[in-house]
Amino acid sequence: MKIDFAGKRVLVTGGSRGIGRAAVEAFLENGARVALNGRTAQSTAAALAELGNNESLLSAPGDVATAAGCEAMVAAAVKGLGGLDILVNCAGVDRHGRLGNIDEETWDYIIDINLKGTFFCIQASLSALRESGGNVVNIGSDAGLMGSEDLIVYCASKGGVVNMTRAMALELAPGIRVNCVCPGYVDTDMVRRDGIEQADDPAAAEQKVIDYAPLRRMGEPAEIASAILYLASDDARFVTGAALQIDGGSTAGQ
């Protein structure tokens, strides 16, 4: 995908690996300057080193689970980049569990990172985005558009992200566009290392994930990054409040 982001200043939360990392690479390839956020200074520095400590790349570590963490991280990114044109909220976590076994710590952990973190990163970026006429891309999920019985809190958090995207799009139009991408299963640590490899029968677990989408495979992080770049680009200048499914057909019906 070739879209010109020359001169654009981008912050990607959860950019240290997986989908966020693919988005960071795609923005860099297309001329942007990028602030990469990982939860810790170590994970952020490791990602920067793996990407060759590119001069267009700067470090913005910080935990998005608290409003103060979001504010400090966004402030560092805006200062380092000299402003902000695009915010990508990609930091996210999941935990499987049945209703009767989900405790308050699990609820807070998932909601604070996925939903509250997305809200407060956007709030902290508002003045910089107003100044630049920028836009926001949130990462929802197919689990934000339909239920998954062992991912109840994750579904709540991503359903919140999807509908918060719409409400924010209304409030911030016409100056700032707000959209979200809703991936299906994507081959990242979240699915493979933390899911498939932990299962009693990893081969069966992988096959279940593959069979979940009508296109019979997992997505690649770069395929989600392409959608993120499209929504962040001027090609999407008439798009706001959208939830763009990149899911191999999983939300088309089962």
Ligand X SMILES: NC(=O)c1ccc[n+]([C@@H]2O[C@H](COP(=O)([O-])OP(=O)(O)OC[C@H]3O[C@@H](n4cnc5c(N)ncnc54)[C@H](O)[C@@H]3O)[C@@H](O)[C@H]2O)c1
| Residues from 78 through 97 that contact ligand X (CB under 6 A) | 90-93
**The 86-89 sheet, strands edge to edge:** 57-59, 33-36, 9-13, 86-89, 135-139, 177-183, 243-246
Is 64 a binding residue for ligand X by CB under 6 A? The answer is yes
Backbone φ/ψ region at 246: left (φ over 0), alpha (ψ -120 to 50), beta = beta
* Rounded least distance, CB 140 to ligand X, Å: 7
Q: For residues 95 and 106, is the Cβ–Cβ distance under 8 A? A: yes
In angstroms, rounded to a whole number, what is the distance separating the alpha carbons of residues 205 and 212?
11
Using CB under 6 A, pick the residue from 29, 43, 67, 166 that binds ligand X: 43
Which residue of 16, 30, 233, 245 would you call a contact of ligand X, by CB under 6 A? 16
189 binds ligand X (CB under 6 A): yes
CA 66 remoteness from chain centre = 17
Q: How far is the CB of 40 from ligand X (least distance, A)?
A: 8
The verdict on 248 binding ligand X (CB under 6 A) reads no
From 109, 154, 185, 212, the catalytic residue:
154
38 binding ligand X? (CB under 6 A): yes
Where do we find the tokens 């793996």? 50
CA distance 153 to 245: 20
Q: Summarize as ranges the residues that interact with ligand X (CB under 6 A).
A: 13-14, 16-20, 37-39, 43, 63-65, 90-93, 113, 139, 141, 183, 185-186, 188-191
Residues that are catalytic = 154
